[in-house]
Amino acid sequence: MADKTNSLKSKLMHIQTELKAPKNLYNSFGKYHYRNAEGIQEALKPFEEKYGVIVTLSDEIVEVGGRVYVKATATITDAEESISVTAYAREALDKKGMDDAQVTGATSSYARKYALNGLFLLDDTKDVDTEEYQSAGKQGANKAAPKTEPDYRSMLREFIKDAGLDPKAIAQTCGLTQNSSNEEWRKAFEYAKGLVNGNG
């Protein structure tokens, strides 16, 4: 009978508990810290040796509804068993200043990061979002303070302009209209940042 304490699931559980992949990169425009796929892989190396496992990443280009996606798969194996998690990222319709290979590479990096996040249960909440949430909570506790929320529509427009993105492509990809809610604009803003950073 196989030793359950030495099974791949047990090893993965230990890695999920012990792995620390700090957000050591900073986006000065959006004012938030983030991690990328390369940073997660670097943090994983000691655990591969410690637990006798190997983590691999692979990509597959798939087409859904006429749009191109990168399907990234993160796999952990100990030569006897393997566990995989997949994540998808959609290529932008157009990205100024980047050729097709660069667009695909950035999309691949984005998808790979989220595949690794899923496999190792990494929290990808951006620090700026956490600060905004805490700030909103403090405002709620103080009834005299007005309740404010970032204007993501304006933030997205400025970001697109500075980053040289195609506003029509972003709007089409994210399904934006003049009547879109602030939350929908926020999601589009996060999507645009992910395209620029290749990691979200």
Report helix, strand and coil shares of the chain as percent, to nearest 5.
Answer: 50, 20, 30
In tens, the pLDDT along 117-169 reads 999 999 765 543 344 434 444 444 444 444 456 777 878 787 777 777 778 88
Which H or E run contains 60?
A: strand 54-64
Burial class of residue 45 in the structure, from the number of CB atoms within 10 Å of its CB (0-12 exposed, 13-18 middle, 19+ buried):
exposed
Please report the pLDDT score of residue 143 as a whole number: 46
Residue 116 within a domain:
yes
Number of domains in the chain: 1
Secondary structure of residue 125 in the 3-state scheme: coil
Amino acid identity for residue 15 in this structure: I
In tens, the pLDDT along 29-48 reads 778 888 899 999 999 999 99
In tens, the pLDDT along 190-200 reads 887 777 666 44
Range of the structural domain that residue 86 is part of? 4-148
Please report the pLDDT score of residue 98 as a whole number: 57
Residue 192 within a domain:
no
In tens, the pLDDT along 91-126 reads 765 555 455 667 778 888 889 999 999 999 997 655
Residue 193 within a domain:
no
Over 90: is that where the pLDDT of 49 sits? yes
Residue 177 within a domain:
no
Please report the pLDDT score of residue 140 as a whole number: 46
For residues 46-56, average pLDDT? 96
Residue 187 within a domain:
no
Please report the pLDDT score of residue 129 as a whole number: 38
Please report the pLDDT score of residue 133 as a whole number: 39
d(CA 48, CA 90): 30
